[in-house]
């Protein structure tokens, strides 16, 4: 069942001359993991805002087309009703700390306090969400005392506790160090495996190849390519438009004309695929 | 302009011993990357090069100047520092003014400032945006403004603090170009980075720090081959280096060309059709 | 390293257990009495017989003294300035050139200094004994707009972060050769490269934070609930009535005597 439907979405920020998203049509099934790739300025963040309702409710501007989550259109609900449907986590973990709470536990409960959840239920949900993301031991810490990776996991948990139908992640690891990235991706992987519908903007191709069910490549506000990770991430259309591609793909593509990559083998995205292909081309 | 670090110890006021006895030299014209996990001391070390931090023990010399006897303003003429977040330094109403701020502070005459600014703007592809307010630019271009603002100071040494974090492939390539050009002009380029692929492809010398000490210091090829040691400071080798290792290549490779060259030379590959 | 998140010091004491609104009211009552009471010695007596004993009852006596001690230089400065530069006064006690100290001015200066000291020290006591989150939850529960309480409480936490940001900005601009010495006008000019990024950079952060709290239902119109229960007892209500009476009494006595 399609839990997310974008139909003919075109959007322009206020006081700008060109639309950032042009005629986007997209469907995401329940439980699917959709990765979104694209250069800066392609419209990826705007797409995330559109799915989560910030376009048009927060950013105003001209939105044409419809966004539907589980049958309800964004135009029909207010922003605070919408956030229950699509939870947004973005790049900067520090800016996602509300500043209104002194401990991680309270921080996570913040969203439930705002939406009038009764106290008993609040505690249950917070405990459950923290266990799911593995941050129970951070309960009494100040959010400001945490590392980037920990803060991002707190942000994720704070959104998860609201029980959204879709999790929208806008480059959640781009400002993290390697350890932080690993921590955050591990949590995202767990959530996806448990059936959460995820839309994630990401640069790192290797990860996309291992987590994503489908990938869309956004370019200048339009969907350039759509398909499985293997189809999209190895497409020659990406390199010529300045998308960052996996170095394994890059080197195999260079190796092809030199006869160093088996001609019948798909270009690799991950290390294992590259090892496989390059080992094979040795007689 | 040689940077000489002698037995450097540094502790933060709270008592954290950030650097525990570092000695090294960076010679004129080197391209050096400093890597290691968060908290290893990378930023702490590099902030000694322009006098933002002063040694608790030991010394740091930039050329003939001892950093404890010179002001940051004076060292700024020798060592430029590009901070990680451009929003921590942008304040002028247009890009041109912003990029002029540094060289003007250094007291250069107006014509020289203008020339330096033009050069910095063209190097960072900002020439057509010189009248734009930096805050009207996207994050990508604000990053380039920050770079240009330090390049225009024409310092013999230039430090980049995590230049590629959050940047897309196009901008990473731009930044790599800038570094290449600066190096070609004989400048010493020092960078702190988590992006090990960027590091491998653009820097000849790598210093790996761990817990305030130098773990590894040498040519990129030597350092990147030490997978187990790098793992102790949470650094994974670059993608192609890993691939090369798995395929049993005899040398450490850092980029596609090196990989293909080494791969072609594998005994079982000699005689293959192709170039 | 002790994480000191706010002025608040958790202790088990009768003062801590009071409802936050009660404590605000007590603080305001003390201030109003200090500033509007017609009797000259109100302020110092409040300090000695009300504020300080309360800090002891609240088991934060030592912390209070430390904080109050830091106030003394400022209050002392105000006292001296007022004593030397207030116009008028007849009974000259000391004179040096055009500087003179009269008995009347001394007494006026003492009054001003004591009033200010009372005001700040009662706030300090309040902050020491009240957890900001609880205060805000309580006020929100009593229908104060949540935006208002959010602004106050997030500002409290943001201040140390802003300080850290300001330090980074200073380092960045110094690295560009910013002159930290030099003439007064030069140094004023040097403020802009510091304030600029602080303000503009903060605007970017503020927008992102607004999105983050919206994403957690901040602008929901449903009645808000709270994680912690904040008690409001009969004692609280009685104290609040008493404070109201004291406030009215103060104004009444001022009107009656003037």
Average pLDDT over residues A88-98: 93
Give chain B's residues under pLDDT 50: 271-272, 274-275
- Rounded Cα distance, A232 and A246, in Å: 12
Strands A21-29 and A2-12: antiparallel
Mean pLDDT, rounded, for C120-132: 88
Prediction pTM value: 0.85
Domains of chain B (ranges, CATH numbers):
3-235 (3.40.50.300), 238-270 (no CATH)
pLDDT bracket for residue A71 (50, 70, 90): confident
Q: Write out the two tokens for C198.
A: 């602080």
> How many CB contacts within 8 angstroms connect chain A with chain C?
118
Structural domains in chain A, sorted by start: 2-97+164-238 (3.40.50.300), 246-283 (no CATH)
User: pLDDT tens digits, residue range A172-231?
Assistant: 998 888 889 999 999 999 999 999 999 999 988 888 998 899 999 999 999 999 999 999
Neighbours of chain C (3+ CB pairs under 8 A): A, B
Distance of CA A213 to the CA centre of its chain: 13
CA B7 from centre of chain? 22
> A5: distance to nearest CA of chain B, Å?
28
**Average pLDDT of A36-42?**
91
Q: Give the A window 93-122 contacts with C, CB below 8 Å.
A: 94-102, 105-106, 109-119, 122
C3: confidence class by pLDDT, cuts 50, 70, 90 = very low
CA dist B157 and A61 (Å) reads: 46
Q: Is the dihedral of CA B219, B221, B227, B228 positive or negative?
A: negative
pLDDT tens digits along C139-193: 888 888 888 888 877 877 777 778 888 889 989 999 998 876 666 666 677 777 8
Any idea of the CA torsion for B105, B108, B112, B118, to the nearest 10 degrees? -10
State whether A115 and C220 contact (CB < 8 Å).
yes
At C93, list the tokens: 């006690």
Residue C38: predicted pLDDT: 87
Question: d(Cα B139, Cα A123) in Å, to the nearest integer?
Answer: 39
Q: List CB contacts of B129: < 8 A, sequence separation 6 or more.
A: B95, B137, B141
Query: B271 vs A50, which has greater pLDDT?
Result: A50
pLDDT at C182: 63
Check A179 against B140: CB less than 8 A apart.
no
Q: Which among A113, A141, A144 has CB closest to C224?
A: A113
B219 has which bridge partners? B205
Mutate to test the interface with B, among C172, C190, C201 (most CBs of B within 10 A): C172
Residue A41, pLDDT score: 87
Contact between chains at C176 and B102 (C-beta distance less than 8 A): yes
Of A181, A125, A179, A180, residue with least CA distance to A157: A125
Give A8's pLDDT tier (boundaries 50, 70, 90). very high
How high is the pLDDT of residue A70? 86
DSSP letter at A213 equals S
How high does pLDDT run on average in chain A? 91
Q: Is the pLDDT of residue C6 over 70?
A: no
Q: How far is C125 from chain B (nearest CA, A)?
A: 28
Region of poorest pLDDT, from A12-26, B119-133, C177-191, C217-231: C177-191
User: Which residues in chain A are closer than 8 Å to C3, comparing Cβ atoms?
Assistant: 141-142, 145
Q: What chains are in contact with A, requiring at least 3 Cβ pairs below 8 Å?
A: B, C
Q: Does the pLDDT value for residue C251 go beyond 80?
A: yes
Residue C183's pLDDT is 67
Tell how strand B188-192 and strand B31-35 pair up: parallel
Token readout for B188 is: 């010493």
Average of per-residue pLDDT across A224-242: 91
> Which of A71-75, B193-197, C73-77 is least confident?
A71-75
pLDDT at A229: 94
pLDDT (0 to 100) of residue A64: 92
Is residue A275 over pLDDT 60?
A: yes
Q: Which two tokens stand for residue B202?
A: 């653009």
Over residues B67-88, the pLDDT tens digits come to: 999 999 899 999 999 999 999 8
- How high is the pLDDT of residue B269? 56
Rounded to two decimals, the ipTM of the complex is: 0.89
Q: Which of B201, B154, B157, B156 is nearest to B175 (CA)?
A: B201
d(CA A240, CA A256): 17
Q: Which of B261-265, C3-7, C126-130 has the lowest mean pLDDT?
A: C3-7
């Amino acid at each position: 069942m399609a839990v997310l439907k974008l139909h003919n979405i075109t959007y322009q920020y206020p006081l700008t001359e060109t639309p950032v998203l042009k005629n986007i049509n997209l469907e995401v099934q329940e439980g699917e993991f959709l990765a979104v790739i694209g250069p800066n300025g392609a419209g990826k963040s705007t797409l995330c805002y559109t799915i989560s309702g910030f376009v048009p409710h927060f950013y105003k501007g001209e939105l044409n087309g419809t966004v539907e989550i589980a049958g309800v259109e964004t135009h029909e609900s207010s922003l605070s009703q919408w956030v229950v449907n699509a939870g947004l986590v973005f790049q900067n973990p520090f800016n996602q700390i509300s500043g209104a709470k002194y401990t991680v536990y309270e921080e996570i409960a913040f969203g439930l306090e705002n939406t009038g959840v009764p106290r008993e239920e609040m505690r249950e949900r917070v405990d459950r969400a923290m266990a799911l993301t593995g941050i129970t031991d951070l309960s009494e810490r100040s959010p400001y005392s945490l590392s980037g990776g920990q803060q991002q996991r707190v942000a994720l948990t704070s959104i998860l506790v609201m029980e959204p139908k879709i999790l929208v992640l806008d480059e959640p690891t781009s400002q993290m160090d390697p350890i932080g990235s690993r921590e955050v991706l591990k949590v995202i992987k767990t959530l996806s495996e448990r059936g959460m519908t995820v839309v994630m903007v990401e640069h790192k191709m290797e990860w996309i190849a291992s987590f994503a069910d489908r990938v869309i490549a956004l370019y200048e506000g339009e969907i350039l390519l759509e398909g499985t990770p293997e189809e999209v991430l190895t497409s020659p259309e990406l390199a010529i438009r300045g998308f960052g591609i996996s170095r394994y793909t890059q080197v195999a593509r260079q190796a092809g004309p030199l006869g160093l990559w088996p001609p019948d083998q798909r270009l690799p995205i991950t290390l294992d695929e590259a090892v496989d292909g390059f080992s094979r081309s040795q007689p | 302009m040689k940077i000489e670090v002698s037995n450097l110890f540094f502790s933060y006021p709270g008592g954290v011993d950030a650097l525990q006895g570092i000695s090294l030299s960076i010679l004129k014209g080197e391209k050096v990357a400093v890597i290691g996990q968060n908290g290893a001391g990378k930023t702490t070390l590099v902030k000694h090069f322009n006098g933002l931090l002063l040694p608790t023990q030991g010394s740091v010399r930039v050329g003939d100047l001892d950093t404890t006897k010179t002001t940051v303003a004076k060292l700024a003429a020798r060592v430029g520092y590009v901070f990680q977040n451009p929003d921590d330094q942008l304040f002028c109403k247009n890009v041109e003014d912003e990029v002029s701020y540094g060289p003007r502070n250094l007291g250069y005459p107006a014509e020289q400032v203008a020339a330096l600014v033009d050069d910095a703007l063209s190097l960072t592809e900002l020439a057509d945006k010189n009248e734009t307010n930096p805050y009207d630019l996207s994050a990508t271009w604000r990053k380039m403004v920050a770079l240009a603002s330090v390049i225009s100071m024409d310092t013999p040494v230039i430090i980049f603090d995590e230049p590629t974090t959050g940047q897309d492939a196009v901008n990473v390539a731009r930044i790599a170009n800038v570094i290449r050009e600066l190096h070609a002009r004989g400048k010493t380029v020092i960078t702190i980075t988590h992006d090990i692929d960027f590091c491998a492809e653009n820097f000849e010398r790598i210093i790996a720090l761990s817990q305030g000490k130098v773990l590894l210091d040498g040519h990129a090829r030597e350092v990147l081959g030490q997978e187990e040691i790098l793992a102790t400071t949470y650094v994974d080798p670059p993608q192609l280096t890993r691939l090369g290792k798995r395929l049993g290549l005899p040398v450490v490779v850092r980029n596609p060309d090196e990989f293909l060259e080494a791969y072609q030379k594998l005994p079982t590959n000699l005689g293959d059709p192709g170039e | 390293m002790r994480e000191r998140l706010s002025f608040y010091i958790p202790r088990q004491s009768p003062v801590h257990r009071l409802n936050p609104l009660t404590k605000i009211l007590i603080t305001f009552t003390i201030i109003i009495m200090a500033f509007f009471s017609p009797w000259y010695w109100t302020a110092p007596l409040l300090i000695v017989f009300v504020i300080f004993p309360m800090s002891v009852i609240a088991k934060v006596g030592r912390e209070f003294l430390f904080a109050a001690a830091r106030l003394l230089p400022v209050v002392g400065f105000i006292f001296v300035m007022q004593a030397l530069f207030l116009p008028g006064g007849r009974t000259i006690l000391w004179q040096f050139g055009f500087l003179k100290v009269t008995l009347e001015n001394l007494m006026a200066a003492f009054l001003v200094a004591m009033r200010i000291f009372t005001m700040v020290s009662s706030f300090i006591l309040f902050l020491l004994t009240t957890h900001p989150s609880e205060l805000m939850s309580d006020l929100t529960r009593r229908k104060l707009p949540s935006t208002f309480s959010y602004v106050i409480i997030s500002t409290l936490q943001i201040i140390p972060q802003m300080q850290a940001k300001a330090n980074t900005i200073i380092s960045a601009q110094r690295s560009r050769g910013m002159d930290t010495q030099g003439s007064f006008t030069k140094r004023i000019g040097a403020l802009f490269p510091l304030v600029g990024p602080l303000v503009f950079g903060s605007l970017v952060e503020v927008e992102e934070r607004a999105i983050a709290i919206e994403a957690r239902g901040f602008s929901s119109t449903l009645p808000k609930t709270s994680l912690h229960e904040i008690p409001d007892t009969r004692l609280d209500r009685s104290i609040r009535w008493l404070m109201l009476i004291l406030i009215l009494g103060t104004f009444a006595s001022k009107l009656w005597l003037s």
